[in-house]
Structures are given as structure tokens and as C-alpha cells.
A and B are shown apart, each in its own frame.
Chain A
Amino acid sequence: MGAHRHAHRAWSRRPRLDLPGMRGRARADVWPLIVAVGVVALTSLLASATPRLVDRTADAALRDALVAAGSRTQVAVTVPFVEDSYQERTIDPDLATRVADRGTALAAALPAELTAVLADPVVTVTTPALPMALARSDLGAVTMSFAYVAHDGEPRVRWLDGGPPAGTPVATAGGQGMPDTWSLQVALSRDTAARLGVHAGDRLPVVDMVGSPLDVTVSGVFVPDDPQDALWSHVAGVVEPVTVGAQLTTGTAVTALVPAAFLPAMVVDLPVGYATRTYTFDVEPQAMHARSIEQLVTAIAGVTVRPEVLGTPRESPSVTTSLDDVLVAAQAHLSAGRAQASVLLAGVVAAAGSTLLLVGQLLSRRRAVQLAQYRARGGALPGLAVELGGEALAVAALGCGLGLTVAAGIVPGPVDWWWVLPGVLLAVVAPPASGVRAAARASGGMRVPVGRGHRRLAIRDRHLRRIAVEAAVLLAAVGAVAALRVRGVVPSASDQGADLLLAAAPALGTLAGALVLARVLPLVLRGAGALAARVRGAVPVLAAARAQATAGHILPIVALTLAAGLITFGSVIGTTVDRGQVAGSWSAVGADVVATVGADGGGANLAALVAAQPGVAVAISGTVEDVQIRTSTGGHQVRLMVVDAADLARLVAAVPVPLGQRGQLTATSDAGPGVLLGADLTAGSDGNLAVLWRGTWVTVHPTGVAPALGSDAGDLVVVDAGAFADAVGDTVAPTTVWVVGPGARAALAAVPQLAHADVVDRSEWLTRQRTAPLVAGLSHLVAATTGVFVLLAVLTVVLGASASAPGRGAMLATLRTIGLGRGQVTRIAVGELLPPVLAAGASGIGLGVLLAGLVAGPLGLRLATGQPVDPALAVPAWVLVPVAALVLVVVVIVAAESSLTRRERLGQVLRAGAR
């Protein structure tokens, strides 16, 4: 009761600040306070800068994704011409102008979010593909479409034969709105005219859908001024004919260019509704921001589902785009990046938090005597709490201010307090809580039951509480890791709380492992102590006893294991990504350098020339073409690689990463040449497989899985060149050279015949992948956080050693009076400090590797490596280096303590009594 009344009085007194006392305490313990300021500053810096850096890189990454997606990002609005079937059709001389105006109106009708990121539309008016009556077996069935294209005027061309269409059909004076007769004049590209065998002035044998001939004349033959002008990509088949069809039917599709003057004639030449206006809006990547993705996707969905909002009720427009798909994919990529950053930040907050708890504990130990005196003089606990809280607040504010200021200098923007506050709060709460607790204990303010039985119950209660807390952490860690493995790290918009738990999964897992270690280590050390007791010498038993005493303090062990685990986790993830990018570069490119030449480029000979160059390990040649493949379930477009089987084996052997090839190419059999099929391909249940080669189906049979060579390796089909030549009755001229070796690029440059080859360089691919904004940003973050974890681990060792230093110093001083030499004293100190550090370091490595293995897949690392599959986990040998560094830190601490005690007079030490 007395103790209770005392405690009650203590808390009920009005707190009074002892400012000189506060200043004195701060001066005496300046270095732990500086550590706290530094940790808070570092945490605040990372926690505030990282989200902003991720946002900034997200914009750049989004723009990269949009550029890479190319025409998939275009928004095409198709608007049929509105005509009344019961009224006579008329030539509208202003049709081109009206078509252009409709585009302007459409742009205005689009949602503002879309208008802000879209350029002015390219206008095309097209017709369906109309049959041509041509007796040309080499072209298959030939179809012709008519197209009008405009964007700031019509595309510029150079006339090779004839000229632009002349004149315009006009309505006759009869007032019927139609000329008597007219010929639709169109222009053909050089390649199209050559393929069809027509010239300027020729009539084209085009028929409409019911078989009636149309009067179409070639006004001229042109070549584009700029064949790369994006305008030409809006209408397929204008610049050059397109081979179309699949399986047994192939044909040729061409498109004739119709000028603005003949647009009205083109429209009325065909039945009502056959000519279609299409307004194609290109995305302006620079106008895009990652934060707007969701609004954009919503806007696109709105106009796609209800396109009638864009036109009059009779127009029935339709909207076609894959922009939303590209944005959603980019969003997933960015979300994965954000989530990966969150995982690292959660680790930083956890490690920094445990370090701040250690600082609090160290301060209360260093101030134990002062705190006891404070209470002995009648100081109240609330007053002490206010004083210590004020000091902690000042420390936290200073650290937070420093961190935020530096972060603002690096990357300005709003502060994400969600990440900053945990560290600051811990810095504010932990030291005062620890100090007040220590003061309460020193003064008997913590009530202790009188009876032995009650004391035992109190101890059991404490143990049960600790077990409950540890079990809760363990369960949370298991749950978080399991959820992360099931759901992946990409957050769902509806469940932010759970996503934070997922982000903390690696830190929670490491924390749970650290708690287990903190339970197990004292038992191990007790066993070691029992063994040491059986030896003659003094050092083992004394070191073991000190180590047991040190390991009895949970916090330093947990904090160090946590930091060591996160160091390893970061290192393994970083190395996995790094090596995955290298593996990705090999599978994406297929060699150090791949050069593509024309069919007449003499590829086979080139391979020999390249192979003779220095620094070339392997150079082989072959052919890669997009072809159709037919299985029992349908047809697919695939990449056919025709290569000598032995050459392929040499190439695969020279590539330093496994390419996943299973099975070998075999010679021709009754079922045709053997092929290796990409991972995404199957032969079908009946094994019926054929490849369309130059208009002929060639039966092949699968013999294994193709190596992951080149992009889209999942759709790769590899066939032996000799067997294939036997099957098709002709040799296939090599068009591609694969080169492996350190001198690959130089070797290509040394062969003049390859001067104009299309070259893909693996190192360039790798550089591009690694410097992609989001990937590079995350790599830097992994490196930075790993560095922070190392720093925190070192601080943890220093703080832990400092906390145990008084007890160690007193014991060693006592032992020196008995006759222990300095060497023995040093060995005891090392024997005390090293086992927990080694145990925490080794456990941290194990936990880090385990957790990296568990969550590497769900973290979506393949987005950073550019591989089609999750990268193989890579554990670098240098994960041992931080542990070695921590051992070195211990040695330095012992040396420093030894140096300090050398200057201490034993007599003076002992006069102070046991500490």
C-alpha cells in the first residue's frame, strides 16, 4: 500500500521542468543523442524522399512504356457517314473540310482528361477491301481498299509516273446532285504499282461487294517523301502491299490513296455506310503523369462503353484503343515498383525503430544513477517524463527537420507523413518511456508483490505477456509472408491496410526470426557456459558468463538480427535483379550481338568471317522469319529460326546463362523435320504440326523445348537448317548472325559486308534495361537502404556494447585485481561481445536469404530484370562481408575499451564499487 501511495503521489504532483538538469543530462549523453538525431534524420530523409523519387521516376517510366507501346496507345474513333438510304446520294464538294471539322468536334467532345494528353487526330476515310479481278497466281487473292489520309494536310509524295488526280466530279446541272459519269482517280505507291503491274492511266479491275465493276483509274505512281512519316502507318498497305491470310488461304492486300478532291466520289461509289471516317488520336507522352492513370483509364472506359456521347444519335461512333491496356500494364509495373520501394522503406523504419529503442535503453542505463538520485530527491515521475519527453522531442524534431530539409533539397514535394511519423514517434516516445521506467524501478515505484508466491505469479505474468507479444509478431509475420506469396506485392486500391502489412512482410519475418533467436541464444550460451565450466582456464567460463548476461538483453539481439537480416535481404534482392538482368539480356538478344542482313547478304559466309575475328567465341548464322504455324487447335503467328543443329548447340553452350532448352533438334523423319517449340507453344493433342513456308505447309514434329533466344522466345520455333532444306526442297539463305564473345561488336565492325546490317547489341539492351527510370531508381534505393541497414547494424553493435560496457568494465576491473592479464581481459571482452554478434549475423543471413527466397517472386522482380519469368534467386558471397565488418566493429570496440581502461587506475575503479 505504501508503495502504491508513493507511486500515486508521484504521478499526482505537478510536473516541474528542471532546465539546468535537462541541459546537464544532454551534455553528459551527447553522443547517444547525436546518434538518435542521425537515425531520425536518415529515416526521415529516406521516408520522405523515396515516395517522391518513385513518383518522379514513375512519370518517366510511364512515358517510356507509352513510347514502347507505339500504335497501341492510339485512340481511334470511327464514325460512319450518315446518309439516308431513301434519298438520292449527292457529291459533296466540301466533304474533306466537313470530315476535318468533325475531328475537331470529336476532340472537343472527348473527356477533358483524354483531351489533355492526346494530339490532334489523324483523319482517315477508308473503304472495305474490295476484290480485284487479277489473274496473278503469285499474289493470291488481291483486294484493294481506298483511303483518304490527312493530318495538317495530305501526306507529301514524289511522283514517279503520272501525277496527282486531276479534276473533281461535280454535280450535273440537272440538279440531281450527281455527275453523269466519273472515274475514281487514285494514286498507288511504287511498290503497289509494281506488285500489281499497273501504271499511271491504267484502269484498275476493282469490283464492289456485289460484283459490279467500279471505274477506277491510276492517276499516278508515287514514293513517300518520308517513308518513316507516322502518317503512313495509319493506313496499312498504302506504301507497300501486305500479305494476308492464314493457313491455306493467303493473298495480297493493297490500298490506293485517294486525294481530298476525290473523297466525295469515293464515298458515293460504294453503298451507303461502307466508307468510314476514323479519327486517330496519338498520345503525347510528355503530357502524361502517373498519378492520372486511374482517371485516364476511367475516361477511356467511359467513351469506349458509351461512344455515343461523342456524336449525334444517328452517327453511332465507336472507340477503339489499347491505351487503357497499356496504362493498366504500366500501372501494374509502377505499383510493383512502389510496392518494392515500400518493402524497403518498411525495413528501414523497422531497423531504425529498433535502433531508437536501443538508444532509449542506453540513455536510461547511462542515467541510472542520476535517475535514482532524481527520485531520491523527491522528483516526480510525471516531471521526469516531461523533461525526458522534451529532450526526446527536441532530438526528434531536429533529426526530422534535418532529414526533411535534405530530402527537399534532393527532390522537392509534399511529405508522406505515413512513412516519416513512425520513426519520429519512436524517437519521441522510446527514450522517455525507458527513462521513466528505470526511475520507477530505482525508486520502488514499480510495485512488487510482498509474498514469494505472488512474485512468482508476477514473473509468470511477465513471461506470458512476452510470449503473447512474440507469438503475435510470429503470427503476423507468417500471415504477411503467406499473403504476400498468394497475392503478390502489387497493392489493390481497396485494401491499403493489408498492403502495408504485405510491405512489412520481410521486416516482420526477420523480426519474428530475431525473437526466436533471442529465445534460443541464451539456452545455447548456457550450454556453452556449462562446457566452459569444465575447462581449467578462466577465460572461457568468464567469457561465457558475460555472453550469457549480454544475451539476456533481448533488444540488442533483436535489433542486430533485424538489421543483419535486412542487409542480406537487400543484398540478395539486388544481386538477384542484377544477375536476372544479365540473364534477361541473353535471352532477349540471344547472343552478345545479333546482326540481321538481307537474304542476299551471304549470312553463312559472314558467320565464318566474324568467327575468324579476335575475341569471338562463337559466330553462327541462320534465318529468323515470322511464319504461320498450324496445330490441331488452330494457327499462330510464330518466329521460325532455321539454323544448323550443331551451330545451335554451340551457341547455347557459349551463352553463360541457362536458356531452358530441353531436347535436341533431330533430323528429318516421316513426320518431317524436328522442331523445338517455344514455351508458349504446344503441338496439340494429335501432334499434328505444320509450318507455312513460302506458301507451302511443311509438316514438322516437336522434339523438345526451344531455348529462350531473343524476345518473344515463347513463340519461337527452331528447326534444323539441313532437315528443313530437305523438307522444302531448297536451302534457306541465312539472314541473321549470332555472335558471342568479348570482341563480338568489334568483330562485326571489322567485316565490311555487315556495315549496313541491323545490329542488336546485348550490352546496349542491358544498359537500356538498367537505366530505365523505375528500374534504375529501385536499384539505387536497394543500394541506399542496404547501406542504411549496414550503418544501423554497426550502430546497434556500438549501442549494445555501450549499454553493457559498465557491467563489463566493473567485472574486468575486479578480475584484474585477482590477477587477470590484459590479454585475458581482452579475450573475455571479445568472448562476451562476439557470440551475440556472430549469432545475430548468421541468423540474419539465414533469415534474409529465406525471406528473399519466399518473396522474390511475389515482389515482381521480373519487371526489373526484363525476363519473361521470375529471376533465379542469387545469393552473393559478399553477404558475409557485413558480418565480417561487424566482427571488426567488435574488435575496435574492445580495443577502444582496452585503451580506455589502460588509462584507468584500478584502485579508483574499485573505489566506485561494483557497477
Chain B
Amino acid sequence: MSASVEVVSPMVSVRSVDRTYGTGRTAVHALRGISFDVAPGEMVALVGRSGSGKTTLLNVVGGLDRADAGTVRVGGTEVTSLDDAGLVSLRRDMVAFIFQTFGLVPILSAAENVGIPLRLRSLPVADRERRVRLLLDLVGLGEHADHRPDELSGGQQQRVAIARALAGSPRLLIADEPTGQLDSETGLAVMALIRAVVEAEGMTAIVSTHDPVMIGLADRAIRIVDGHLVEP
């Protein structure tokens, strides 16, 4: 009788990823041989100074940018080999983003912004409205459903962005300095919210940040320096 060992596949697997912008003497090596894994349900903080390659790495992982070399797998799907249509499917069904600049559609209300991912899945109207209400309540903005982004504070906008990111029930949440434009108190609240929803929804998250408090909320941190991964 042999003991069975459960092997858990990583949610994110990055292997030897290179990304260079430009050519020749003006070439900028944003990523050099990056390799790491993120387990399902894990929240990883990506730490590094400005220009270290954090955003490039997140873009490559999320399929917003393409690696020059190496492979990226998300949920078993090799992102680096996907065509445009595959990347669209990936972003629609598996990965969600939260940006420093919130990335809300300014001409839509908070509820309409949150409802976009659900519309992309052609959810019935009643179901969509129900889930939008639920998500807005979750982020504490149930009373602001009809407000447009410019009628909300920065923290409120970011919470709308979080609600929108959660709307499609993604397996991977990628947040690029989500508190970068917020004051520390609001930033902490937003980060705590992200931590809470990641746990509640059982999703994996990679969050880039400078803030030590934020780093403390993560399960672990990955440090990137000049495109290289270093031990924290």
C-alpha cells in the first residue's frame, strides 16, 4: 500500500521570461529570465522600485503584453502561446485586472461599470443586476450605484474597480499598484478589501506595490530588481 501524494499544480507558472523594449543600443531589458510559481488561492505581493519591471511582468502574466522568451501558464493555459482571440478569452474568463488609475469607463455609472464583464458573458439582465447589486454592496458602494466615476472619490473608484474585477469570477486577480493614487488610510482599506475578497472568492492574486503594509497583507512577496527576480 503506497501513500498518495496530492500534487497541486500552480495557478501561475512563469518560466524564464524575457521582455525587451526597443532594439540595439536603446534596448531596455524589462524582464530577464524571470521564473516563479503562484499556488491557487495564494496572494503574492510583487515588490520593486519604479521601472524595475513589475508592471511588465503583470502585463505578460495577464496577457496584456507578450514575452520575448519563456513561458507563462495561468490555470494550466499557456498564455505565451495564445493568439489574440485566446488572450481575449483569457482576460474575459480567467484573469481580472485592477489598475492604479482605476480603469473605469468614465461615461458609465458605477453599476454599469461593474456590469460590463457580465454583459460580455451575456448574463440575463435580472441575474446581471442582482450580481452587480451584490458586488457593490460587497465593496460598500450600494448607495452609489448610479454615480459616475467623476462623482466618486479615488477610494470609491478603486472599490468599483474591484467590484468589476470580481464580477466575472476570475481565477486570477492582477492588481498593479492599486493603492498608488490613494492616501494611506484609503489604500489600506482597499488592500484589506482585496485581501478579503481574494479569500472569500478563493481566487489567486498578484499585487504589485511599494507599501510595506500592503506587503504584509500578502501571503508572500516576490522582489524584482532591474528585471531580475531576487530573493526578498
Q: Is the CB of A907 within 8 A of B59?
A: yes
Q: Is the CB of A907 within 8 A of B122?
A: no
Bin chain B's interface residue count: 35 or more
Among the listed A816, A819, A914, which residue makes an inter-chain contact with B101, where contact means beta carbons less than 8 Å apart? A914
Within 8 Å of chain A (Cβ to Cβ): is B33? Answer: no
Among the listed A536, A821, A822, which residue makes an inter-chain contact with B122, where contact means beta carbons less than 8 Å apart? A536
A526-B165 Cα distance, complex, nearest whole Å: 27
Which residue of the partner chain A has the closest CB to B85? A821
Q: Is the CB of A818 within 8 A of B122?
A: no
A549-B65 Cα distance, complex, nearest whole Å: 30
Q: Is the CB of A816 within 8 A of B106?
A: no
Among the listed B89, B105, B112, B119, which residue makes an inter-chain contact with A814, where contact means beta carbons less than 8 Å apart? B105
Among the listed B56, B91, B105, B112, which residue makes an inter-chain contact with A819, where contact means beta carbons less than 8 Å apart? B91
User: Provided the pairs A537-B122, A541-B119, A819-B168 are in contact, do residues A910 and B88 lie with their beta carbons within 8 angstroms?
Assistant: no
A806 to chain B, nearest CB (A): 12
A542-B116 Cα distance, complex, nearest whole Å: 9
A807-B168 Cα distance, complex, nearest whole Å: 25
Among the listed A534, A815, A907, which residue makes an inter-chain contact with B105, where contact means beta carbons less than 8 Å apart? A815
**B contact residues around A910 at 8 Å (CB):** 64, 97, 99, 101, 103
User: Provided the pairs A536-B119, A537-B119, A537-B122 are in contact, do residues A817 and B64 lie with their beta carbons within 8 angstroms?
Assistant: yes
A733-B105 Cα distance, complex, nearest whole Å: 88
A199-B166 Cα distance, complex, nearest whole Å: 123
Q: Which of B59-93 contact A (CB under 8 A)?
A: 59, 62, 64-65, 84-85, 88-89, 91-93
Q: Is the CB of A911 within 8 A of B107?
A: no
Q: Is the CB of B55 within 8 A of A820?
A: no
Bin chain A's interface residue count: 20 to 34
Among the listed A538, A546, A821, A907, which residue makes an inter-chain contact with B107, where contact means beta carbons less than 8 Å apart? A546
A537-B93 Cα distance, complex, nearest whole Å: 16
Among the listed A533, A905, A914, which residue makes an inter-chain contact with B112, where contact means beta carbons less than 8 Å apart? A533
A609-B106 Cα distance, complex, nearest whole Å: 82
A360 to chain B, nearest CB (A): 24
Which residue of the partner chain A has the closest CB to B55? A911
A549-B108 Cα distance, complex, nearest whole Å: 10
A549-B105 Cα distance, complex, nearest whole Å: 12
Question: What's the dominant secondary structure at chain A's contact region?
Answer: helix
Q: Is the CB of B91 within 8 A of A542?
A: no
Q: Is the CB of A907 within 8 A of B64?
A: yes
Q: Is the CB of A913 within 8 A of B101?
A: yes
**B contact residues around A817 at 8 Å (CB):** 62, 64, 91, 97, 99, 103
Within 8 Å of chain A (Cβ to Cβ): is B227? Answer: no
A824 to chain B, nearest CB (A): 8
Q: Which of B112-140 contact A (CB under 8 A)?
A: 112, 116-117, 119-120, 122-125, 128
Which residue of the partner chain A has the closest CB to B97? A817
Q: Write the B152-196 contact mask toward A (1 if CB under 8 angstroms, else 0).
A: 000000000000100010000000000000000000000000000
Among the listed B58, B103, B123, which residue makes an inter-chain contact with A914, where contact means beta carbons less than 8 Å apart? B103
Within 8 Å of chain B (Cβ to Cβ): is A309? Answer: no
Within 8 Å of chain A (Cβ to Cβ): is B104? Answer: yes
**A contact residues around B123 at 8 Å (CB):** 536
User: Provided the pairs A546-B107, A905-B65 are in contact, do residues A820 and B101 lie with their beta carbons within 8 angstroms?
Assistant: no
User: Provided the pairs A549-B107, A814-B103 are in contact, do residues A820 and B120 lie with their beta carbons within 8 angstroms?
Assistant: yes
Within 8 Å of chain B (Cβ to Cβ): is A776? Answer: no
Which residue of the partner chain A has the closest CB to B89? A819
Among the listed B62, B64, B119, which residue makes an inter-chain contact with A538, where contact means beta carbons less than 8 Å apart? B119
Which residue of the partner chain A has the closest CB to B123? A536
A815-B107 Cα distance, complex, nearest whole Å: 13
**B contact residues around A815 at 8 Å (CB):** 105, 116
**B contact residues around A830 at 8 Å (CB):** none
A549-B112 Cα distance, complex, nearest whole Å: 15
Q: Is the CB of A811 within 8 A of B91?
A: no
Among the listed A541, A821, A911, A914, which residue makes an inter-chain contact with B106, where contact means beta carbons less than 8 Å apart? A914
Among the listed A534, A537, A906, which residue makes an inter-chain contact with B65, where contact means beta carbons less than 8 Å apart? A906
Q: Which of A892-915 contact B (CB under 8 A)?
A: 905-908, 910-911, 913-914
User: Provided the pairs A548-B107, A814-B105, A907-B65 are in contact, do residues A819 and B92 lie with their beta carbons within 8 angstroms?
Assistant: yes
Q: Is the CB of A818 within 8 A of B124?
A: no
Within 8 Å of chain B (Cβ to Cβ): is A545? Answer: yes
**A contact residues around B164 at 8 Å (CB):** 818
B155 to chain A, nearest CB (A): 16
B20 to chain A, nearest CB (A): 13
**B contact residues around A820 at 8 Å (CB):** 88, 92, 120
A905-B105 Cα distance, complex, nearest whole Å: 19
Sampled A-B contacts (30; CB under 8 Å) = A533-B112, A536-B125, A537-B119, A541-B108, A541-B112, A545-B107, A548-B107, A549-B107, A814-B105, A815-B105, A816-B91, A817-B99, A817-B103, A818-B92, A818-B116, A818-B120, A818-B168, A819-B89, A819-B93, A819-B120, A820-B88, A820-B120, A821-B85, A905-B59, A906-B64, A907-B58, A907-B65, A910-B97, A911-B55, A914-B103
- Name A residues whose Cβ lies closer than 8 Å to a Cβ of B: 533-538, 541-542, 545-546, 548-549, 807, 811, 814-822, 905-908, 910-911, 913-914
Additional A-B contact list (5), CB under 8 Å, known A817-B64, A818-B164, A907-B56: A541-B112, A549-B107, A818-B92, A820-B120, A914-B103
- Name B residues whose Cβ lies closer than 8 Å to a Cβ of A: 55-56, 58-59, 62, 64-65, 84-85, 88-89, 91-93, 96-97, 99-108, 112, 116-117, 119-120, 122-125, 128, 164, 168
4 pairs of A and B residues whose beta carbons are closest in the complex:
A819-B92, A907-B59, A538-B119, A913-B101
